Structure 1
């Protein structure tokens, strides 16, 4: 056991205490106003980036930016193997940056040493150049240069790499991929391009891109992915699968943290718990911003 793993696991367990928690998210969603909620967040565990006066989009970005900061802190405490895993998990932020690039907005996240290919992707001046840059990087060819081709391709590429690399996170990646394919095919009614179909097949089985209905897709999924779609009656219930996915990430992350020893597992567990907390917090802000009832508060 190296001293770096001891330091990293200890730091991970300490960072997990810097979260809002389920009860805190419910209280946040019931704040007297959106402005009051943001002011509360600015003095709590998300105070690294949240400031009073932010609008809804800025506040949700600031919550995610705090999660990125936590990830960068952890990467500085663990040995190289752990930093490589955190860099892989942090690819969500690179996906978000490309989403912003495709929308003509400024890239919101500074990944620093956690970046995979962003320095190259950010210089792409055309959709064709962006596709070429992805194809020659760890992301791989998304199969098209349209925004949806790029977005779907990057997400499936990330899920496949996580499932292949990190055993504890494999069910999270497979479940999220199942939800993504189901949303694309049955809610948005768009078929997958050949590259996306191949990636989906690797995670979800050969029939994922051709299943004629949501129920058929769910019935043909491997166990690692089927849990995400279990019991969903139609595409309009896919949001329930997303909630279930984040609940599992949170639950599994806490189980990894509870294990004994100083190694990779508690570090991954800490990041999972922090990511689930950020999702809950962003959901609470979104509900509050649109004036949702208390019964709509995140669980």
Structure 2
């Protein structure tokens, strides 16, 4: 094992040990207001970008910003193959940046983009786009490909499916996570009924879960034709109203798999993959816990089921 892999493995394990984890997320969710929760969070490892006095949205943005910062630190220690892994696993953040930029081009206020630097695929060019057609052209000439439309839905769905497809190719260890995410994407779109998927989304999704799944017209029909790598994600979703729980179960599966990788694998690819996934799960948990604290501040106490879904 190279010195580079040993170094990044040591640092990756150290970063995962500083997560808030399930217990920390439960503690945040139990706070009576998001302002108090933000103060607690600012004193934690998320204090790099979360500060007292921030709004809920600003604090949630800061949680992701801290995660991105940690991954950029890991990239500085990782060998070239490790940087490829990080770039593939950080793709959802580039998707979020791109969608925010689309909103900004439409005249709406958006948060500052996450600073993904060299871990982006095309972000450095995308953020320079000053018109929607220009942004679409940048996507079309990058590894993201043409999204099949210039609206937020078309761009978001196509980039999400392409990100999953690229993850399977670059990080085989994450195949089940990627396939499960595509299954959930297809299920959500069936539930919303907003119309046909953009063709680039359909093609990328089919590479991950197969054309029968992409062509399914009902949730039951989708679940029946998913490959084993993806079927687990909809195992408990018999009705559309079950999808929120299925999404939480997806995160729990990622957390469980990631923890095993970090604890039991020798220094190398799997430790890095597991650590990145664990940091992503923690960021999701913390953002959700802040949301529950905000509800408590408005007099709406979260149910035990909601807290369990987060933690």
TM-score by length of 2: 0.93
Structure-1 residue corresponding to 2:174: 169
Residue 23 (structure 1) aligned with residue 19 (structure 2): no
* 1:49-107 Cα deviation digits (max 9, x unpaired): 11001101001000011110110111111111101111121112211111111211354
Residue 225 (structure 1) aligned with residue 230 (structure 2): yes
CA distance in 1, matches of 2:173, 2:208: 15
Structure-2 residue corresponding to 1:151: 156
Q: Cα distance 1:85–1:260, how it changes in 2: closer, same or farther (>3 A)?
A: closer
Partner SS state of residue 103, structure 1: helix
- Please tell me the root mean square deviation across aligned C-alpha atoms, in Å: 1.3
Structure holding more helix per residue: 2
Q: Which residues in structure 2 correspond to 1:22-171 (within 5 Å)?
A: 22-104=22-104, 105-171=110-176
Following TM superposition, where does structure 1 have runs of at least 4 consecutive aligned residues deviating by more than 4 angstroms?
Answer: none
Structure-2 residue corresponding to 1:269: 274
1:215 to 196, 201, 220: 220
TM-score by length of 1: 0.96
Q: Offset of 1:120 from its aligned partner?
A: 1.1
Q: Offset of 1:129 from its aligned partner?
A: 1.7
Whether the 8 Å CA contact 1:185–1:191 is kept in 2: the answer is no
CA distance in 1, matches of 2:146, 2:237: 32
Structure-1 residue corresponding to 2:301: 293
CA distance in 1, matches of 2:132, 2:175: 31
Q: Offset of 1:42 from its aligned partner?
A: 0.6
Structure 2: where are the runs of 5+ without partners?
A: 105-109
